[in-house]
Amino acid sequence: MNFEEIKSVLKGKTAGIAGCGGLGSNSAVALARTGIGRLIIADFDKVDESNLNRQYFFYSQVGQYKAEALKENISRINPSVKVEAHIIKLQPADIMALYKECDIIIEAFDKAEMKQMIVETVSEKMPGMPIVCGVGMAGWGKNELIKVEKFDDIYVVGDGITEVSDETPVLAPRVCTVANMMANTALELLIGEMK
């Protein structure tokens, strides 16, 4: 498939992105650059200076809602992407309502209990909907531990073991590696395997 063919398939696709932090902002930008037709993004939080070590925002955007700031950044990269931005702390009913028309959902929360909540909601209430999650991307180095594991329609990307802590902060290189692997997994599911 050449890039024009890829873009023509992707143009008709919608990805839901749950959370606009390190995983969500970077995977959204990767999908926007590749030519996804529509992104439905959601986050309740505002950009903080401490987020700039890994999240796709600029210093001038500190204090803005992440969902709105990300929409603005995507429009500057690829204005043909339709971005629906929701300022909301997602609960199961919102996930089912906002993401029902999606071809794929990207789980991009930071808290383990929120990751569990969305994966359980999608598995139980949205059968057949693929969901790509990021699990274990704190710290640095250890590229060789990062992998993708498939459990039916759940795709888990990360090392699976390195939780964020004082000694293992979340930093751009490893978080963006996982975010881009998540976007790459989404791309494969949306346009098919590379021949």
Partner 1 sequence: MNITLNNREETLDTNKEILSIAELFELKKFSFKNLVVKINGTLVKRDEYQSAYFKNGDKVDVIHMISGG
Binding site for partner 1 (CB under 8 A): 19, 21-24, 108-113, 115-116, 119-120, 123-124, 133-138, 149-152, 154, 156, 160-164, 170, 175
Nearer to partner 1, 27 or 35 (CB): 27
In angstroms, the first-to-last Cα distance of the chain is: 8
Q: How far is the CB of 35 from partner 1 (least distance, A)?
A: 25
Q: How far is the CB of 30 from partner 1 (least distance, A)?
A: 15
Are the C-beta atoms of 70 and 85 separated by less than 8 Å? yes
Give the shortest CB-51-to-partner 1 separation in angstroms: 11
Q: Residue type at 5? A: E
DSSP H or E segment with residue 23:
helix 22-34
Give the phi and the psi of residue 151 in degrees, each rounded to 5.
Answer: -125, 95
Q: CB nearer to partner 1: give 119 or 191.
A: 119
Query: Would you say the C-alpha torsion 147, 14, 11, 175 has a positive or negative sign?
Result: negative
Residue 22, token pair as written in the block:
């390190």
Residue 49 or 149 having the CB closest to partner 1: 149
| Minimum gap (Å) between residue 133 Cβ and partner 1 | 8
Nearest CA to 131 out of 164, 109, 161 is that of: 109
Minimum Å distance from CB 55 to partner 1? 10
Smallest separation (angstroms) from partner 1 to the CB of 110: 4
Nearer to partner 1, 10 or 156 (CB): 156
Residue 80 or residue 165: which is nearer to partner 1 going by CB?
A: 165
Contact 14, 39 (CB under 8 A): yes
- Give the number of other Cβ atoms within 10 Å of residue 2's Cβ: 7
In this structure, what token pair is assigned to residue 82? 């339709």
Between 10 and 170, name the residue whose CB sits nearer to partner 1.
Answer: 170
